[in-house]
Amino acid sequence: MSLKGKNIVIGISGSIAAYKIATLIRLLRKAEAEVQVIMTNEAVQFISPLTLSTLSNKPVLVDYYKENTGEWNNHVHIAESADLLLIAPATANTLAKCALGLCDNLLLAVYLSAKGPVAFAPAMDLDMWKHPAVQRNIQLLTQYGHDIIPPGNGELASGLIGEGRLAEPADMLAYINHFFQQSKPLFGKKALVSAGPTYEAIDPVRFIGNHSSGKMGYAIAAQLQKLGAEVTLVSGPSSQPIPASVKRIDVVSANDMFNAMQSNFSDSAIIVMSAAVADYTPQEVATQKIKKKEEQFSIALTKTKDILSHLGTLKTEKQTLVGFALETNNEIAHAKDKLQRKNLDFIVLNSMNDQGAGFAHNTNKITVIKRSGEEFPFELKSKDEVAQDICALIVEHQQSEGLL
CB 9 within 8 A of CB 84: yes
Check 7, 210, 255, 259 and give the catalytic one: 210
Cα dihedral across residues 274, 275, 276, 282: positive or negative: negative
Of 54, 45, 57, whose CA–CA distance to 91 is shortest?
45
Known catalytic residue at 210: yes
Alpha helices in 266-382 (DSSP H): 307-314, 331-341
Distances (CA, A) of 332 to 324, 370, 392: 12, 12, 21
Of 175, 133, 136, 132, whose CA–CA distance to 152 is shortest?
175
Of 5, 8, 3, 228, whose CA–CA distance to 118 is shortest?
8
CB 398 within 8 A of CB 270: yes
Of 346, 354, 305, 304, whose CA–CA distance to 325 is shortest?
346
Residue 231's contacts (CB-CB under 8 Å, 6 or more residues apart) are 190, 191, 192, 193, 221, 224, 225, 243, 245, 246, 247
Helix (H, G, I), strand (E, B) or coil at 1: coil
Q: How far apart are CA 84 and CA 90, in angstroms?
A: 15
Q: What are phi and psi of 189, to 5 degrees?
A: -95, 145
Which amino acid type is present at position 312? G
Element (H, E) at 350: strand 346-351
CB atoms within 10 A of CB 154: 11
Q: How far apart are CA 326 and CA 333, in angstroms?
A: 12
DSSP state of 392: H
Q: How far apart are CA 404 and CA 385, in angstroms?
A: 23
196, HSE (Cβ side, Cα atoms, 13 Å): 23
Q: How far apart are CA 246 and CA 230, in angstroms?
A: 7
CB 268 within 8 A of CB 24: no
Helix (H, G, I), strand (E, B) or coil at 40: coil
Would you name the residues annotated as active-site residues?
210
